[in-house]
Amino acid sequence: MSDYKMRVSPGKKVDLGDYDPDYDFGASKTAAKTELEKLQAEIGEQQARLYAEGKQTLLVILQGMDASGKDGVTKHVFAGVNPQGMSVVSFKTPTPQELGQDYLWRIHAACPPRGKIGVFNRSQYEDVLIVRVNGWIDAETCERRYAQINAFEKLLAENGTRILKFMLHISKDEQKARLMDRLNSPDEYWKFSAGDLPVRAQWDEYMKTYQDALSACSTEHGPWYVVPSNRKWARNLIIARTVLEALKDMNPQYPPRDPALEGIEIV
C-alpha cells in the first residue's frame, strides 16, 4: 500500500509514537468512498464463496481505545456481506459464569464456525490490557497470558482460521473530539458513558500496555496491524483492503457440481 508499515513483524518492539494516526495513504476522501464501495462488493463475493465452501474461517479482531471506531469498521467494511455468513461478538465485562472459567473460555466459545467471517469487537486482549493497566494481574501473569494467547491463536490457525488483528490507532485529541460529539448528539448519547473518562485518564498507561501486547503477540499466524484511525474513511479503506487481500489469499471455492444432480429434471 505504501511505505507505512501497518503490519507488526513478529518479535518487533512496538513504539506507537512511530505510527501516525492521521496517515491516509495519500487517498482523498472522495476516492476512498468510491474504492470502498467496490471493495465492499468484492468482500461480499468472497464471503459467499467462503460460506459455500464451508472449510475455512476468517476472524477479524478489533481493538482500540473508546471511540476509535470498532463499530464503524464493522458497519462499513462488511456492508456487502450477507449477515447469514457473518457473526459479530462484542465482549463486555465478564459475566459471573464467564468469571468462573478461564479467561479464554468465552473467547473460544464465540469463535465463528467454518464458512463464516467473525468479527470480535474487543477480544482476548482485554485480559492483557485493562486488567494489566489496573493492576489486577501482575507482570508475570501477563507474560504467561501472552504465551497462552499466542498458543490459542495458533490452534485456531492450524484448524482453518485466518486471523487479522487491527489496533485502531487514534490520537488523544481525536478521542476527545469524538467523545464530545457523543455528548452533544441526541442520537449518540447512548454511546457515552461516564466510565469512559477514568479510562481516558489512563491514556499513557494504555498506550504502553498496547505496545507490550502488540510486541508480544504479533505472529505469522496472528499478525497485528496498527491502523491509522483519526480519519474514519481512511481507516475503513485500509481495513477493507487488508480483509479482501486475506480472503483472496484464502481462495475459497464454490463446491463442484454433485454428480447425483446429473439428469435431474424439474417439472
Range 16-249 classified under CATH 3.40.50.1820: no
User: Is pLDDT at 194 greater than 90 in this prediction?
Assistant: no
Strand partners, 165: 61, 224
Instruction: State pLDDT tens for residues 52-75.
Output: 999 999 999 999 999 999 999 999
Instruction: State pLDDT tens for residues 207-226.
Output: 999 999 999 999 999 999 99
The mean of the pLDDT values for the chain is 95
Answer whether 142's CB lies under 8 Å from 128's CB: yes
Nearby residues of 111 by Cβ (< 8 Å), 6 or more positions away: 57, 59, 118, 156, 161
Instruction: State pLDDT tens for residues 15-49.
Output: 999 999 999 988 899 999 999 999 999 999 999 99
Cα(98)–Cα(106) distance, integer angstroms: 6
Among residues 34, 55, 86, which one has the least CA distance to residue 243? Answer: 86
Instruction: State pLDDT tens for residues 73-115.
Output: 999 999 999 999 999 999 999 999 999 999 999 999 999 999 9
Q: Domain residue spans in the chain? A: 16-249
Answer whether 152's CB lies under 8 Å from 104's CB: yes
Burial grade of 53 (CB within 10 A; 0-12, 13-18, 19 or more): middle
Among residues 264, 245, 260, 254, which one has the least CA distance to residue 42? Answer: 245
pLDDT band at 2 (very low <50, low <70, confident <90, very high): very low
Q: At what angle do helices 29-53 and 232-250 cross, to 10 degrees?
A: 30
